[in-house]
Amino acid sequence: MKESYTHGHQTPVLNAHQQRTIDNSAAYLRPYLAPGMNLLDIGAGPGSITADFARLTGKVTATEIGEEELNLCKRHLLDKGLTVEQGISAKFSVENVHHLSFSDNIFDIAHAHQVIQHVSNPIQALTEMARVVRPGGYVAIRDADYESFFWFPASSKISRWRELYLQVARNNGGEPSAGRRLLSYARQAGLSGARFTTSTWTYTGEEAQQLACSWAERIEQTVLGQQIVETGLTSIQELQEVAQEWREWGSQPGALFVIPHGELLWQKP
CB of 73 or CB of 255, closer to ligand SAM = 73
Distance from C-alpha of 38 to C-alpha of 137, rounded to nearest angstrom: 10
Taking the complex as a whole, the smallest distance from the CB of residue 97 to ligand SAM amounts, in Å, to 4
Taking the complex as a whole, the smallest distance from the CB of residue 95 to ligand SAM amounts, in Å, to 6
Taking the complex as a whole, the smallest distance from the CB of residue 24 to ligand SAM amounts, in Å, to 10
Task: Count the Cβ atoms, other than its own, within 10 Å of residue 109.
Answer: 24
H or E element, residue 45: none
Taking the complex as a whole, the smallest distance from the CB of residue 172 to ligand SAM amounts, in Å, to 10
CB of 121 or CB of 244, closer to ligand SAM = 121
Distance from C-alpha of 72 to C-alpha of 8, rounded to nearest angstrom: 13
Half-sphere exposure of residue 212: CA atoms within 13 angstroms, side-chain side = 27
C-alpha pair distances (Å), 30 with each of 35, 40, 164, 229: 12, 15, 35, 41
Taking the complex as a whole, the smallest distance from the CB of residue 42 to ligand SAM amounts, in Å, to 5
CB of 59 or CB of 118, closer to ligand SAM = 118
Distance from C-alpha of 101 to C-alpha of 93, rounded to nearest angstrom: 9
End-to-end CA gap in the chain: 32
CB of 93 or CB of 240, closer to ligand SAM = 93
Residue nearest to ligand SAM (CB): 45
Distance from C-alpha of 201 to C-alpha of 144, rounded to nearest angstrom: 9
CB of 17 or CB of 59, closer to ligand SAM = 17
Residues lying near ligand SAM in the complex (CB under 6 A): 5, 7, 17, 20, 42-45, 49, 64-65, 69, 96-98, 113-115, 118-119
